[in-house]
Structure 1
């Protein structure tokens, strides 16, 4: 009888051990499965990506990736020469320059676990190194939509939501600052100046266009609005001559100079906004980029500048 009891107890212990081992193996398998997930990128490609990517490389989208709390290990750093507002969001030297966007060797050296690109063609090359997703900011109607999409692709939904809440709060504050400083119905123009030609900046464009017109919602000068409404802007700009610069003048002007003293031309100095101190120079190295994080800082900077000249 005692031998039988001992045998039964031994069998039960063995079954318990097997059950524990099976459970442990199952848990390990579940953890392993959750290390990756499937996403559909903006090129319609199905890609298996890390659930929590740690070493992200991008050939364009530094601002969007920084906005959701990821510091890329590699990027095209010469882009930052025209996106200086981003430099406060990462530590110098911690993002490696991949140089030429097609430099596979430099990307390979960084041992990325995820690559974000703007080009499906590039993605096909990069995916030999690591999972690669195509992103396109032009696919989204607004900055919050864009950042929500980035958050989903990178597994940073909470961070994207937090950014969007902060973004909307700060933009409302900037809009109020402008509304308190200028007459209702005031219009705006953004020019880029060279010695030969002048370019108008569109809404949803680089050089402050997205920040001023789309995000802050400022009204373009009448003839600028006509060009926007008729779709005459090409790649966000429209070339005009120095002789016609006054035809597109708004009550307030922002401008970027490509050459020193180009704003001393008599045609420019005769503009009402210039004569009355309502023309504001903005530096291209801070304003060329139109990513979400840069645009947020541009909008706040523009509001501050408008408020300052109103006080003067």
Structure 2
């Protein structure tokens, strides 16, 4: 009986052990599947990056406004976005960080970092959390929003906004051209400390709306000097040369704007005709959905309500 009992007992132990191993393997596989289901592979400009499907602690060193437009949760933001009055209410309690603030970034425990390709410490940021980089200007302003939508697993929402915005902007542009004439020119000029800037068709300040979406015309001199570079710097004496039939004045409240009291400015035809429409520089330096919707409303009211 003893000889028979020992093999049976040994067989029982083997069966129990095998069951335990199977349960452990099943648990590991289940855990692995759960982890995999919580992430996906985003095809970034630098290659595939495994990112969370529903990031809860995003640090946006760049493209912060695009992220805010999709109602994603940001815990760290760059200082320029933080200073923009359009985003003030949305950024309450959010920390200001740079790519050099590695200790602070670690403390914020991000699950996703968005950075510019020109920034330092990209490798170190990748060690903290999955890091996706974008090169400024590589994508047009609408495609950029769709890419942020893909990254945040909100591509559908991004595409819906793009389609709606294009429809609204094109319709408004048609109404504006019908009112001011197909050949009327529009300049976007910004005041600086000691100089002025005029912009091409892709340098924020509403230029994408006016020139791309609405198909309004810029003066020949602006096209010659600012279209390719995006921006051209000039002195106050040249203001009449860059002013179109209509001028969008990106007015910086922090600089000396006494030029508006000079005879040079007052004698510009667009000024005499009351065709100067002001926007706040601080609220106009991005091309994200929040800024674009804000500026589109201003342009619609300025051109069509007079």
Taking structure 2 as the reference length, the TM-score comes to 0.81
Identify the residue that residue 41 of structure 1 maps to in structure 2.
Answer: 44
Where does structure 2 lack aligned partners over 5 or more consecutive residues?
Answer: 1-15
Q: Is the 8 A contact 2:187 2:246 kept in 1?
A: yes
Identify the residue that residue 143 of structure 2 maps to in structure 1.
Answer: 145
State how far apart, in whole Å, the 2-side matches of 1:191 and 1:146 are.
Answer: 25
Identify the residue that residue 9 of structure 1 maps to in structure 2.
Answer: none
Report matched runs for 1:176-191 at 5 Å: 176-191=174-189
Q: Is the 8 A contact 2:114 2:131 kept in 1?
A: yes
Identify the residue that residue 6 of structure 1 maps to in structure 2.
Answer: none
Where does structure 1 lack aligned partners over 5 or more consecutive residues?
Answer: 1-13
Cα deviation for residue 136 of structure 1 reads: 2.7
Q: CA 1:54–1:176 in structure 2 vs 1: closer, same or farther (change >3 Å)?
A: same
Q: Specify which of 222, 234, 240 is matched with residue 234 of structure 2.
A: 240
Identify the residue that residue 74 of structure 1 maps to in structure 2.
Answer: 76
Larger mean CA deviation between 276-285 and 121-130 belongs to: 121-130
State how far apart, in whole Å, the 1-side matches of 2:192 and 2:125 are.
Answer: 39
State how far apart, in whole Å, the 1-side matches of 2:191 and 2:262 are.
Answer: 10
Report matched runs for 1:23-38 at 5 Å: 27-38=30-41
Identify the residue that residue 196 of structure 2 maps to in structure 1.
Answer: 198
SS at match of 1:299: helix
State how far apart, in whole Å, the 2-side matches of 1:50 and 1:99 are.
Answer: 21
Identify the residue that residue 215 of structure 1 maps to in structure 2.
Answer: 213
Identify the residue that residue 3 of structure 2 maps to in structure 1.
Answer: none
State how far apart, in whole Å, the 1-side matches of 2:80 and 2:243 are.
Answer: 33
Question: Pairwise CA RMSD of aligned residues?
Answer: 2.7
Cα deviation for residue 188 of structure 1 reads: 0.5
Q: Specify which of 297, 301, 306 is matched with residue 303 of structure 2.
A: 306
Identify the residue that residue 129 of structure 1 maps to in structure 2.
Answer: 128
Report matched runs for 1:111-122 at 5 Å: 111-119=109-117, 121-122=120-121
Higher relative contact order (CA 8 A, sep 6+): 1
State how far apart, in whole Å, the 1-side matches of 2:215 and 2:73 are.
Answer: 30
State how far apart, in whole Å, the 2-side matches of 1:86 and 1:103 are.
Answer: 22
Cα deviation for residue 76 of structure 1 reads: 1.8
Taking structure 1 as the reference length, the TM-score comes to 0.80
Cα deviation for residue 98 of structure 1 reads: 2.6
